């Protein structure tokens, strides 16, 4: 198989047989769900026993309570399963479940008879999805743009500049102290590739986990994660500067590229839980799951509702725990499937589509909507002709939403670094509200190509290095908080007024002129909450935020 391929997964039945000899042992991995967490030694009131201080702080800063899904799986239940002769391989506290290796039907019968067990099912399906294209060498005659003062981006300038990452870098925001988890299929040679020298030398490579093999060794595996990581963490002046060159990183392997078994969806859940527990701010995943070699196990479009797949459910949970979650839309745009994959359908996450360097939708980029009618992707960035470093310190151009996603993830780290008091959803909404198609999102681009400097301007009302053509200016609203109506003053005619809630739902509203250059919006039928206001004028978009009481 192509080691760079996006993989298709779903929670369901999987049978793995080892038959290298007539005496080879047969085993099956099962997803064992437990009924409860009764009798656990852990409590909601003492989260430091199972969550890092950083993870707790992320919740506290965003007003998110610790709940029962944070409590680890009951060790007594794990012991009971192991006592049957089976082996617990991984465990999931969010789903209150475990991946269990079972070697015979007697063990399975014994597990099903345990009073703590809710259900058991085999877990694995085979992948058939479209890969990213191979990286192609690029002969560089690139000259550094004059307005870039701090980094020599080389050929990577376009992908950074398109979303305003260079603008944030020039203001000093380069992802410092932000923690990113990349969940992928392997990170070949990240421990030796010179493009990551500064990452290693500055101690910002925090650690690794391999939830496929059950260890911490990821540097000999698939190269896909290494390629993607270079787009955020790479730092080779004149060649490639990643969009978050000063962030801290965890590298987590959830996908078995060699065997293509569906258990990787369950592995992804466990990986996301680990990322949460150590306190990451952002997860980025360039994997997608749709169809399988066994046709009866395929996803159908109706599954793309964010509530069917275990990986989609876990993605939403991660976002609800304050993590900014990004996932590639997929590379099925030219295929029979066409739509996004799983967990790109999840609610509250940022699904990323691909555009060219000139901002045109990539034909291969998977599209929405979700089965329940939500627009997907959420945002788009440069995934066609992305400048990548692969193992061997080789630079070249690659195509795929796999590359669009980490490029944007790094820029998000810079934006959140600059606005540390904002929630993950406020960051996402600011990106949507200032993106290129914010006033008319669709299922090719989503809300369009973001500009993180414009989003920063919206979040704090300052003008940070914006080119005039991309400027998105705040407008003063009063009263704020508002109750029955909201007013603003504008010396030109508004063309369109639109509200967006914290979950991205667009609300069309009407406005009236009630004085010279003064306008009002009625809010009688709008629920209480925080809203983003976008006013389209002949000169561009005006954006602000208010609270409806």
DSSP symbols for 190-221: TTT-GGGHHHHHTT-EEEEEETTTTBS--TTS
Q: Which of 37, 32, 36, 35 is nearest to 99 (CA)?
A: 32
Token output for 407: 């490029």
Total Cβ atoms within 10 A of residue 120: 18
Of the pLDDT bands very low, low, confident and very high (cuts 50, 70, 90), residue 259 is: low
The pLDDT value recorded for residue 502 is 58
- pLDDT, one tens digit per residue, over 369-385 is 999 999 999 999 999 99
- pLDDT, one tens digit per residue, over 208-254 is 999 998 999 999 999 999 999 999 999 999 999 999 999 999 999 99
Q: Which of 462, 179, 213 is nearest to 322 (CA)?
A: 179
Q: In terms of C-beta density within 10 A (0-12 exposed, 13-18 middle, 19 or more buried), how is residue 282 classed? A: buried
Distance set, CA 86 to CA 5, 30, 74, 101, 261 (Å): 33, 10, 17, 6, 20
Please name every residue paired with 496 in a beta bridge, in sequence order, or none if there are none.
536
pTM confidence score? 0.80
Mean pLDDT of 489-495: 82
The pLDDT value recorded for residue 257 is 72
Of the pLDDT bands very low, low, confident and very high (cuts 50, 70, 90), residue 22 is: very low
Of the pLDDT bands very low, low, confident and very high (cuts 50, 70, 90), residue 12 is: very low
- 146 or 284: whose pLDDT is higher? 284
Mean pLDDT of 535-545: 73
Ranges 124-138, 216-230, 263-277: which has the least confidence: 124-138
Please, what is the Cα angle at 398 between 392 and 399, to 5 degrees?
A: 150
- pLDDT, one tens digit per residue, over 395-436 is 999 999 999 999 999 999 999 999 999 999 999 999 999 999
Residue 54 and residue 234 in contact, taking contact as beta carbons nearer than 8 Å: no
Residue 245 carries which DSSP code?
T
* Consecutive H or E run containing 183: strand 179-184
How far is it, in rounded angstroms, from Cα 102 to Cα 83?
A: 12
Token output for 227: 């390629």
The pLDDT value recorded for residue 547 is 81
How far is it, in rounded angstroms, from Cα 409 to Cα 375?
A: 20
Mean pLDDT value across the chain? 86
Greatest mean pLDDT among 202-211, 289-298, 454-463 lies in 202-211
Q: Which of 235, 228, 133 is nearest to 182 (CA)?
A: 228
């Amino acid at each position: 198989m192509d080691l760079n391929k996006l993989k298709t997964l779903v929670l369901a039945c999987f049978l793995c047989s080892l038959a290298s000899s007539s005496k080879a042992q047969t085993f099956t991995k099962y997803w064992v769900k437990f009924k409860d967490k009764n009798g656990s030694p852990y409590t909601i009131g003492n989260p430091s026993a199972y969550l890092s201080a950083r993870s707790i702080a992320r919740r506290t800063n965003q007003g998110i309570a610790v709940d029962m899904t944070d409590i680890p799986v009951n060790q007594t239940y794990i012991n009971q399963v192991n006592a049957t002769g089976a082996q617990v391989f991984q465990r999931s506290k969010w789903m209150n479940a475990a991946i269990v290796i079972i070697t015979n039907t007697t063990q399975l019968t014994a597990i099903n008879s345990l009073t703590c067990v809710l259900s058991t099912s085999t877990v694995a399906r085979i992948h058939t999805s479209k890969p990213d294209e191979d990286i192609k060498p690029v002969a560089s005659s690139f000259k550094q743009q004059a307005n870039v003062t701090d980094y020599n981006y080389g050929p990577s300038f376009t992908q950074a500049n398109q979303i305003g990452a260079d603008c944030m870098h020039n203001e000093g925001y380069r992802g410092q102290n932000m923690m990113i988890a990349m969940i992928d299929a392997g990170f070949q040679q990240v421990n030796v590739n010179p493009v990551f020298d500064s990452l290693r030398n500055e101690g910002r490579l925090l650690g690794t986990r391999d939830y496929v093999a059950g260890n911490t060794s990821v540097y000999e595996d698939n190269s896909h994660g290494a390629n993607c990581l270079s787009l955020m963490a790479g730092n080779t002046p004149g060649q490639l500067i990643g969009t978050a060159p000063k962030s801290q990183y965890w590298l987590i392997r959830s996908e078995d590229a060699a065997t293509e078994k569906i258990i990787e969806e369950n592995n992804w859940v466990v990986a996301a839980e680990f990322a949460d527990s150590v306190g990451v701010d952002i997860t980025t995943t360039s994997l997608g799951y749709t169809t399988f070699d066994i046709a009866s196990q395929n996803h159908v479009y109706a599954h793309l509702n964010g509530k069917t797949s275990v990986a989609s459910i876990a993605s939403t949970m991660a976002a609800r725990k304050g993590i900014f979650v990004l996932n590639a839309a997929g590379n099925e745009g030219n295929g029979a499937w066409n739509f996004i994959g799983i967990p790109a359908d999840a609610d509250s996450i940022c699904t990323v589509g691909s555009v060219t360097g000139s901002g045109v939708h990539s034909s291969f980029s998977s599209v929405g909507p979700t089965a329940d009618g939500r627009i997907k992707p959420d945002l788009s960035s440069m995934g066609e002709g992305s400048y990548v470093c692969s193992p061997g310190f080789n630079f070249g151009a690659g195509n795929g939403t796999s590359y669009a996603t980490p490029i944007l993830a790094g820029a998000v780290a810079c934006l959140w670094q600059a606005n540390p008091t904002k929630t993950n959803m406020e960051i996402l909404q600011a990106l949507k509200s200032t993106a290129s198609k914010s006033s008319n999102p669709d299922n090719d681009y989503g809300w369009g190509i973001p500009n993180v400097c414009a989003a920063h301007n919206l979040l704090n009302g300052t003008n940070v290095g914006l080119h005039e053509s991309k400027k998105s200016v705040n407008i003063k609203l009063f009263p704020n908080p508002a109750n029955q109506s909201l007013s603003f003053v504008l010396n030109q005619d508004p063309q369109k007024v639109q509200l967006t809630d914290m979950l991205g739902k667009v609300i069309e509203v009407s406005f009236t002129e009630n004085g010279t250059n003064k306008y009002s919006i009625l809010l009688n039928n709008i629920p209480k909450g925080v809203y983003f206001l976008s006013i389209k004028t002949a000169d561009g978009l005006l954006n602000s935020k208010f609270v409806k009481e």
